[in-house]
Each structure stands twice: as C-alpha cells, then as structure tokens.
C-alpha cells in the first residue's frame, strides 16, 4: 500500500470520526431541570426598587415582586418593632414567623430600633426558583450597615445609644410558601457570612 493511499485512508477516517452532529460534541451538559422548576439570574437591586428581568415568565415576576415586598416590610419593622405586622411577610406558624416574633418582642422590651438614614441595606437576588405552585426558593446576597440604637423615644434621638453598628454581608437561601394569594417567607438559611465587609461587590 502506497504512503499516499495510506494517508488518504487515515484522513477519511479522521473526518468521519469528527463529523458527528453538534449535539454529540464531547462536552458534558447536565440534564434540563423539571418543567416545574424555573431558575432566573438577577441584577443588583435594593430594598425598594426591583425591576423584573425582560421577558421573564409571569410567575417568576410575581415571585420577585412578592419577595421584594416581604423583605421591605421586614426591614421597616426595625424602626418600630412593637408595630411589626409579621403576618404580612411570614406564614403564621412557620419557623421564620416564630423567630421574628421573638426577636421583635426582645427589641421592644429593650427599646432597640433603627433610624432612618443610619446605615443602609442592599441585596441582590441571585436566583429565583419555583418548585411547585405552593413552594419557592430565592437566593440573595446582602450587605447590611443599618445601625441599631437603644432608644426610649420614637420621635427623638436625644437619648440614643448605639447598640450595634457592625456591618454584615450574607448569602441567604429563603424558602417561601404561597399564602393567601402571595408568596411569604417560611424559613431562611444563611449560607455564607462575612462581618465587617462586603462579599456581594456592592
């Protein structure tokens, strides 16, 4: 067999071996998620301004809107813990409802509150996931520099004493449940924490 013929045969074999369809390339791709699972990345938002991602599914847009609403309601409780309507953002009987109730009772008893303009809270929604019609999961990254004061007067800062002015940054997984037509929290898990800095890049 001539070298020219051998080279032609080898070339033909190499072409056949590499001419498979694009979907058969040797790159691993995980299987697609179940139809009931939707994950959508997000951009930086803050506690009062969260615009939906263009062309996102309507159910994800509702989840996003409800999540921002419940987080905003929770943050407002810092100023008047004795007036906190926990049922507006957490499902009654849930772990988060119980824990927040206890926290607000402790803050009320100790006159611990936040003040407008004293620190900021920012968060980024990193993913939104709907497991089924009643359960969802949201991952966030947050940076919190809100100052807490020991203050006996709601409308005056005359006797304010700084109770906590430490900064914290967290990655958190929030579990939500559909309750009375809206998504509300049932529990949360801090996945990563950093005190005194910002892990989110704000």
Can you tell me the distance from the alpha carbon of 45 to that of 168, in angstroms, rounded to the nearest whole number? 17
Secondary structure E strands in 115-165: 121-130, 135-144, 148-150, 161-164
Mean pLDDT of 128-151: 93
pLDDT band at residue 181, thresholds of 50, 70 and 90?
very high
**What tokens does 20 get?**
């498979």
State yes or no: pLDDT of 104 exceeds 60. yes
Q: Can you read off the two tokens belonging to residue 142? A: 């947050």
Residue 56: Cβ within 10 Å count: 16
Is residue 98 pLDDT above 50, yes or no?
A: yes
Domains of the chain, earliest start first: 33-195 (3.10.450.50)
pLDDT tens per residue, range 14-53: 434 444 433 333 343 334 444 333 334 433 344 434 556 6
Locate the DSSP E strands across 34-102. Answer: 39-40, 44-46
Tell me: pLDDT of 110 over 60: yes
pTM: 0.74
Number of H helices, E strands in the chain: 3, 9
């Amino acid at each position: 067999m001539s070298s020219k013929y051998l080279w032609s045969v080898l070339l033909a074999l190499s072409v056949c071996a590499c001419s498979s369809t694009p979907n058969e390339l040797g790159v691993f791709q995980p299987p697609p998620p179940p139809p009931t699972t939707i994950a959508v990345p997000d951009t930086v938002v803050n506690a009062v301004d969260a615009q939906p991602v263009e062309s996102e599914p309507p159910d994800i847009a509702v989840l996003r809107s409800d999540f921002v609403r419940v987080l905003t309601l929770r943050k407002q409780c810092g100023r008047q813990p004795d007036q906190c309507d926990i049922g507006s953002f957490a499902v009654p009987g849930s772990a988060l409802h119980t824990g927040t109730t206890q926290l607000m009772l402790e803050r009320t008893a100790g006159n611990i509150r936040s003040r407008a303009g004293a620190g900021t809270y920012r968060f980024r929604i990193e993913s939104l996931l709907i497991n089924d019609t009643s359960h969802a999961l949201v991952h966030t990254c947050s940076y919190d520099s809100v100052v807490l004061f020991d203050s006996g007067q709601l409308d005056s800062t005359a006797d304010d004493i700084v109770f906590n002015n430490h900064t914290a940054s967290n990655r958190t997984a929030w579990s939500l449940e559909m309750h009375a037509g809206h998504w509300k929290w049932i529990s949360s898990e801090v996945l990563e924490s950093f005190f005194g800095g910002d892990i989110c890049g704000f």
